Amino acid sequence: MSHVVEVTRGGVVESRHIVHVAVAHADRGLIASCGNAQHVSFVRSAIKMFQALPLAEDGVVYGLSLTAEEVALCTASHNAEPFHVAAVRSILTKAGVTEDALACGPHPPMYAAAAEALEHTGVKPGRIHNNCSGKHAGMLALCRARGWESPGYRLAGHPVQQACAAEIAGAAEVSEDDLPTAVDGCGVVTFALALEQMALLFARLEERPGGAEVAAAMRAHPELIRGAGAPDTLLMQGLGEWTAKGGAEGLLCGCGPGGVGLALKVADGAGRAVGPALGELMRRLGLEAPGLGVVALENSRGERVGEVVSEVL
């Protein structure tokens, strides 16, 4: 069975995005799939909750008095709306560093309204506006708690990245030597896994030390994880027992009640296909997540001229 997302205009299919899906159970392994469950992809930002586990599992969260909101920001790919930026600044203060310590590069806020608002102030986008600045702030907090030097924390040989790699390899039940790595868009290490492995990884998230705490923070503050209209934020807002995190190149992973995990990958990396594909997947699981489904295509006049819709062939 194939899962595709079609982009139509005037009743004609203009584009078609192939989607691969894996659904796993913590104890039973792969329980459902569509397309190629063995498709290998870098997990990118979808892995951020696992990169935040070292903060939670050894008491760093309590030692630095990180709030649930700040823990959620450590897993975020945020829109750099004012409340996102404020939470990152709070984490940096508790880590005892300034924005200059962030190793991610600057870019404008991902949310158009936030980018426009920043432009109107005359302030240039900084590192704190990078969508990964929360993760980086969390890594700096880990450095402070562990007494590690913060310069170079983004590099593979640093204790921060070694701790993250050990966490992910352990959860995925693979050797660190067999875990393909590369450099992510924000400069830290990223990891490659098959979708089946990702789904199983997420199915077991809350079994990991600190996993339940991190997942609960994400579910309590879904608006911090990305922001308005994002598929992962919408899923958690609509289905409060689910935890979800999107990543670059059309990837989204999540987990729900009963030890169920999922991984969804748009083969060509098109982010516009993730929401419709996720909405269809949740319907196949017997669930309805408001806001996830058909996406309207509008022209420059604001007129609806087509749609992005998921199909199972």
**Domain annotation for the chain: domains and CATH numbers:** 3-312 (3.40.710)
Q: From residue 72, how far is each of 95, 122, 268, 277 by CA, in Å?
A: 16, 29, 29, 25
The 3-state DSSP class for residue 182 equals strand
Q: Which long-range contacts (CB under 8 A, 24 or more apart) does 178-182 make?
A: 180/40, 181/156, 182/42
Q: Is the pLDDT of residue 298 over 80?
A: yes
Q: Is the pLDDT of residue 47 over 80?
A: yes
3-state SS, 233-275, equals HHHHHHCCCCEEEEECCCEEEEEECCCEEEEEEECCCCHHHHH
Most confident of 53-67, 110-124, 131-145: 131-145
Over residues 3-26, the pLDDT tens digits come to: 899 999 998 999 999 999 999 999
Residue in 72, 46, 44, 16 with CA at minimum distance from that of residue 262? 46
Q: For residue 150, what pLDDT is reported?
A: 96
| Residue 119 CB contacts under 8 Å (≥ 6 apart), including other chains | 108
Over residues 135-182, the pLDDT tens digits come to: 999 999 999 999 999 999 999 999 999 999 999 999 999 999 999 999
This model's pTM is above 0.85:
yes
